[in-house]
Structure 1
Amino acid sequence: MTTLVSATVPACEIALADVFASLSDVDIEAERIVEGGDDIVMPLLWIRNADRDEFEAACAGDPTVDEIELLADFETELLYRMQWIDQVGLLLQMLTNANASILEAVGKNGTWHLRILYPSREQLAETKTFCSEHELSLTINAIREMDGEPSGRYGLTTGQYQALVTAVNAGYFAVPSDITLNELADEMNISHQALSERLRRGIHALIEDTLLLDFAESNE
Structure 2
Amino acid sequence: MSVLTAFTVPGDDFLLGWTLERAPEMQIEIERVAVEDESVTPYFWVAGEDFERFEAALADDPTVDRSVELEDHGDQRLYQVAWKRDAKSLVYAVSEVDATILQAESDGTDWSVELLFPDDEAVSALQDYAAAHDLSFELRWLHDSAHPEAFGQYEVTDEQREALVTAYRLGYFEVPGEVSLGELADELDISKNAASARLHRGYANLVENTLVHDE
Q: TM-score range with shorter-chain normalisation?
A: 0.5 to 0.7
Match of 1:81 in 2: 80
1:218 equivalent in structure 2:
none
Alpha carbons of structure 1 residues 106 and 149: separation in structure 2 relative to 1, 3 Å = closer
Residue 33 of structure 1 and its aligned partner are, at CA, apart by 0.6
Distance 1:8 1:57, change over 3 A: same
Give the whole-Å Cα distance in 2 for the aligned partners of 1:149 and 1:132.
28
Q: Following the alignment from structure 1 to structure 2, what is the Cα–Cα distance between the partners of residues 50 and 40?
A: 31
Larger radius of gyration: 1
Question: Deviation digits for residues 52-99 of structure 1, max 9, x if unmatched?
Answer: 222211111111111111111111111111111113477533245432
Q: Are the equivalent residues in 2 in contact too, given 1:96–1:102 (CA < 8 A)? A: no
Gaps in structure 1 of 5+ consecutive residues: 155-172, 176-210, 212-220
Q: Which moved more, 1:95-104 or 1:1-10?
A: 95-104
The 1:91/1:5 distance shift into structure 2, 3 A limit, reads closer
After TM superposition, list the pairs within 5 Å mapping 1:26-65 onto structure 2.
26-37=26-37, 39-65=38-64
CA displacement at 1:101 relative to structure 2: 1.9
Displacement of 1:135: 2.7
Residue 153 of structure 1 is matched in structure 2 by: 151
1:128 maps to 127
Letter in 2 for 1:8: T
Letter paired with 1:14: F
Identity %: 26
- Tell me the equivalent position of 2:110: 111
Map 1:93-104; keep pairs closer than 5 Å: 93-95=92-94, 97-104=96-103
CA RMSD of aligned residues (A): 2.6
Match of 1:71 in 2: 70
Q: TM-score normalized by structure 1?
A: 0.62
The size of the alignment, in residue pairs, is 155
Counterpart amino acid of 1:53?
Answer: E
1:18 aligns with 2:18: yes
CA contact (8 A) 2:26 2:50 kept: no
Q: Is the 8 A contact 1:95 1:131 kept in 2?
A: no
